Amino acid sequence: MTLELKEAEYNSCLVISIFGEVDMGSSPQLRTKIIRSVNEGHVNLILDLTSVDFLDSAGLGTIIGALRRVRSQNGDLLLVCPEERIQSIFMLCDLDKVFKFYLTSNEAVDAYKGINSL
């Protein structure tokens, strides 16, 4: 299965919606997209994992790398992850303590509004 990425900008954040499998074969495509977005000044990212069918260790590594990249630029990375089976991968690795999870993109966008108004 191929990976499809769509993006939408809301206020001070960029939502990247991911469709398909995030694995060793497709992770470089996601990594390239994230690097390009950060280089364009988008340091507040939301990765929408709602339509992710599969996530392996390479995909997880790409997401961890994205978090490091945006935080090094004083940004943050929020995850939209309503699927328990995908969220359980993060929990298994104790990454639920590192990432902030939201059920919808709107909730994540609203969270950035709250962060930016402080």
For the chain, what is the mean pLDDT? 94
Does residue 96 lie within any of the structural domains?
yes
Does residue 60 lie within any of the structural domains?
yes
Does residue 117 lie within any of the structural domains?
no
Does residue 118 lie within any of the structural domains?
no
Which DSSP state fits 19? E
Does residue 67 lie within any of the structural domains?
yes
Quote the domain boundaries for residue 94. Answer: 4-112
What is the value of pTM for the model shown?
0.93
Report whether 19 contacts 49 (CB < 8 A).
no
If DSSP codes are grouped into helix, strand and coil, which group holds residue 18? strand
Does residue 98 lie within any of the structural domains?
yes
Give me 47's structure tokens: 């990765």
pLDDT per position as a tens digit, 38-92: 999 999 999 999 999 999 999 999 999 999 999 999 999 999 999 899 999 999 9
Radius of gyration of the chain (CA): 13
CATH number of the domain bearing residue 28: 3.30.750.24
Number of structural domains in the chain: 1
Question: Counting runs of H as helices and runs of E as strands, what totals does the chain give?
Answer: 4, 5
